[in-house]
Amino acid sequence: MNNFVFQNPTKLIFGKGTIARLAREIPGDKTVMVTYGGGSVKKNGIYDQVTAALKNHRYIEFWGIEPNPSVETLRQAVALGKEHHVDYLLAVGGGSVLDGTKLISVAIPYSGDAWELVLNAELLGDALPVASVMTMPATGSEMNAGAVISNKTTQEKFAFNYKHPQFAILDPETTYSIPAFHIACGLADTFVHVMEQYMTTPDQSWLTDRWAEGILLNVVEIAPKIAENKHDYHLMSEYMLSATLALNGLISMGVTQDWVTHMIGHELTAIHGITHGQSLAIVLPATMTVLQAQKRGKILQYGERVWGITTGTPTERVLAAIDCTEQFFRSLNLATHLNEVQIGEETIAEVERRFNERKVALGEACNVNGAIARAILEACL
Ligand code: NZQ
Ligand code: ZN
């Protein structure tokens, strides 16, 4: 097991009716900016619950943080927050609203441009406290320090890591209104978060492996049942908690990590606007295919413990495990090939060029460069 430090200060408040707790979780002397996405919260009753809970607080609202939050939109929120001297931020929405709010929290106290903070971690200084009402299980952003921000002008998408949110309210009833496609993307994102921390080499931490496999098994079990009935409180609770635990630091304890699939997926989103979870469903099976020699031991363990693959030669079992992974994404009605989303050679060349220019060395073995990214994208054409 590798050395590690684990500290996760985010308070999780989980369950029915918990949005009302905003009233006592946010200190009464704060000036709050509540941030929202495109308006789904007005149709499903979440907005009414938030405003009722905050009736004795001083707050302003910022609307319009879009999926794959752009720095162009967030600059407007920063200006509004500065103008009103806000000193607390509450994100109400999915990972995009929360990630955008994390950037706002560091950009309000900063005198320069917000994009500089995304590009250069050394510039990150003071941050306003952030909390969330998370309405979309997927990113784990509610209980991690990460945020992924897009720049529409330059067609770039980068992550930064800084501070955890103060608290997260997770009410599974808020998920009933999520469209089927976004549920599929959220389940795929959760699955791939686990894989990025698990699909490396075996025997680093048996315990961490079993936590990871537990989340994978849970996601595989609930996915078809949620497709049948997304108003089932128990199922949506399992989905919500799986997404949070998949990326809150729990399953990275003591082990190496990969993240190649995410880094390639972010480029597909930056260039084509493709939804995050969908991009991962395309790339992950190809990443496993191209890197199968280096990941062989772990793919065999995964195949046996998650998919029950116990017969055949090792090579046959590796290929069967990769196929099960792709079939799982297909069972979610997601695309698993680039040609299904009209992406071809031009984009492959651009991703290769970007990775070469940035001199990336990704994955647990730090060996994924532009050429290997090309091989992965060609494998999912
Ligand atoms: O904007 P509204 O109107 O709220 O609609 C959203 C949006 O259109 C809708 N939605 C959310 N909750 C809903 C709902 N619709 C009905 N009912 C509800 N309860 O869903 C759509 C997608 O929302 P979005 O926030 O974009 O989805 P998600 O949570 O998947 O976030 C994606 C972003 O997070 C980043 C991704 O790259 C992407 O930018 N990630 C953040 C990570 C992190 N912070 O740790 C890690 C991830 O790997 C990921 O990269
Ligand atoms: Zn993700």
The reported pTM is: 0.98
Q: Is the CB of 267 under 6 A from ligand 1?
A: no
Q: Is the CB of 134 under 6 A from ligand 1?
A: no
Of the candidates 175, 135, 191, 183, the residue with the CA atom closest to the CA atom of residue 333? 183
Distance CA 121, CA 109 (A): 15
**SS3 of residue 170 by DSSP:** strand
C-alpha 182 to ligand 1 mean position (Å): 8
Q: What is the pLDDT of residue 229?
A: 97
Closest ligand to C-alpha of residue 157 is 1
Query: What domains appear along the chain, each with residue ranges and CATH number?
Result: 11-175 (3.40.50.1970), 180-380 (1.20.1090.10)
C-alpha 47 to ligand 1 mean position (Å): 17
Burial of 105 (0-12, 13-18, 19+ CB in 10 A): buried
Q: What is the pLDDT of residue 94?
A: 98
Q: Is the CB of 139 under 6 A from ligand 1?
A: yes
Tokens found for residue 249? 């630091």
Encode the chain (381 residues) as per-residue pLDDT tens digits.
999 999 999 999 999 999 999 999 999 999 999 999 999 999 999 999 999 999 999 999 999 999 999 999 999 999 999 999 999 999 999 999 999 999 999 999 999 999 999 999 999 999 999 999 999 999 999 999 999 999 999 999 999 999 999 999 999 999 999 999 999 999 999 999 999 999 999 999 999 999 999 999 999 999 999 999 999 999 999 999 999 999 999 999 999 999 999 999 999 999 999 999 999 999 999 999 999 999 999 999 999 999 999 999 999 999 999 999 999 999 999 999 999 999 999 999 999 999 999 999 999 999 999 999 999 999 999
Q: Is the CB of 68 under 6 A from ligand 1?
A: yes
Q: Point out the ligand 1 atom lying closest to the alpha carbon of residue 177.
A: 17
Q: Point out the ligand 1 atom lying closest to the alpha carbon of residue 149.
A: 39
Q: Point out the ligand 1 atom lying closest to the alpha carbon of residue 262.
A: 48
Tokens found for residue 349? 């060349």
DSSP string, 348-371: HHHHHHHHHHHT--BTTTT-B-HH
Tokens found for residue 172? 């599974």
Q: What is the pLDDT of residue 158?
A: 98
Distance CA 20, CA 16 (A): 10
Find out whether 145 and 161 touch, Cβ atoms under 8 Å.
Answer: yes
Distance CA 211, CA 362 (A): 24
Task: List the shell of residues around ion ligand 2, using CB closer than 5 Å.
Answer: 189
- The residue written with tokens 């991703």 in the block is 351
Q: Is the CB of 208 under 6 A from ligand 1?
A: no
Closest ligand to C-alpha of residue 95 is 1
Mutate to test the pocket of ligand 1, among 66, 130, 276 (most ligand atoms within 8 A of CB): 276
**SS3 of residue 90 by DSSP:** strand
DSSP string, 132-154: EEE-S-SS-GGGSSEEEEEETTT
